[in-house]
Amino acid sequence: MTRGFSVYLDIMRIVACLIVAASHLANLRYSGGSLYWIRRLDLGSDAVVIFFVLSGFLIAHTALKEGRSASHYAKARLSRIYSVALPAILFTLLIDRFGIAIDPSFYTDPFYIDAPTWKVALNGIGLTSQLHDTNLRLGTNVPYWSIAYEAWYYIAFGIAVFTRGWIRPILLLCVAGIVGLPIILLSGCWMIGVGLNWAVKSRALSQMPIPMAKAMTYAPLLVYIIALRIGVPDALQHVTLRVFNLESLDALGFSEDFTWDSLISLLFAIHLAGMYRLYKDAPETSTRYEAPIRWFAGATFTIYLFHHPILNFIGSFPAYDASAVSHVVLMAVATIVVCLLIAEVTERRLKAWKCLFNGIFARVSGMFSPGIKTASQQIT
């Protein structure tokens, strides 16, 4: 992967993250109606799909490197998820309590789901909040649902890569039975990212003519705009209702638009394939913007998981006026700033989290195989 393409992927992470945050800020309770067009277009949900594709691509890119073991893979995934997820669960539980103390009426369904603390913590840590028809929201942490999807894709991918023989299909079927239909329906979006990783390593993509690469880069955006314009998402929802013989898409949870999401994933993957080819011939030189892009991208996971509880907390202040533009701007800025500060102890300290899980794995391994020296194993 060239430096230019790597930086571009970070830009996509930043853009997707900010769109998700903006889509939540666009709720009437936070910004009156000034930003509601973002919600009408459902851009936030579309941006989450971008994360799925990027996740599948990057996980495949790192996991399929020579010398990577199942142990390396497990420790790397656990460190990446829990470096942000564990603090996010604790933070959400605490800030929701403070917000409820300020204005209980502001913490209502669907922005806040009241559930016992033990249940929220258990489902959050266990990543079980979206299994089958559970669909349990962790307090005000709306975005956490996608982590409860992706974590199971990590597990299934690890099984597919690191197991052999008859045990592989059996374990994959077990995972499918555990997670249920909604998570399975969106797995295609993640797998498209895995497919993109295979494509960028192929000789055919590397030798693609530049005009074709430019067409692949820009055409998906045009198709996306046209599809929104002519109402393709709504049409696909009707198809889903008929195919699954449902009266409502609520039974599919966050996968209700899986057909549209799959189309977006494919379009985005085509776009990235074109960009990869264009960047392949670009000079390997740094730009003055690379450092800030890398720095901000290093906080996107934190922004994603922390922003909504913060928005809700600020919105509960008696003095907050959603119709005042200045208040909305201050809310947005304050939320991002707080998230950037939190990132200093979450994903920006990933090495420390890796060391933690490395130690846990060493102890567990030592319990079963005392004679094996595992303490020196490092996450790569």
For the residues 337-341, what does the mean pLDDT come to?
Answer: 97
Q: How far is C-alpha 249 from the geometric centre of its chain's CA atoms? A: 22
Count the residues in the chain: 380
What's the pLDDT tens digit per position in 201-229? 887 888 899 999 999 999 999 999 999 99
What is the pLDDT, as a whole number, of residue 283? Answer: 62
For the residues 115-126, what does the mean pLDDT come to?
Answer: 93
Average pLDDT of the residues of the chain: 90
For the residues 306-313, what does the mean pLDDT come to?
Answer: 97
What is the pLDDT, as a whole number, of residue 286? Answer: 61
> Does 366 have pLDDT greater than 80?
no
> Does 68 have pLDDT greater than 80?
no
What is the pLDDT, as a whole number, of residue 380? Answer: 39
What's the pLDDT tens digit per position in 32-41? 989 999 998 8
For the residues 143-161, what does the mean pLDDT come to?
Answer: 95
For the residues 351-356, what does the mean pLDDT come to?
Answer: 84
User: For the whole model, what pTM was predicted?
Assistant: 0.91
What is the pLDDT, as a whole number, of residue 379? Answer: 39
% pLDDT > 70, the chain: 94
Confidence class of residue 264 from pLDDT cuts 50, 70 and 90?
A: very high
> Does 321 have pLDDT greater than 70?
yes
For the residues 101-123, what does the mean pLDDT come to?
Answer: 92
What is the pLDDT, as a whole number, of residue 375? Answer: 39
For the residues 61-75, what does the mean pLDDT come to?
Answer: 83
What is the pLDDT, as a whole number, of residue 355? Answer: 86
What is the pLDDT, as a whole number, of residue 365? Answer: 66
> Does 173 have pLDDT greater than 80?
yes
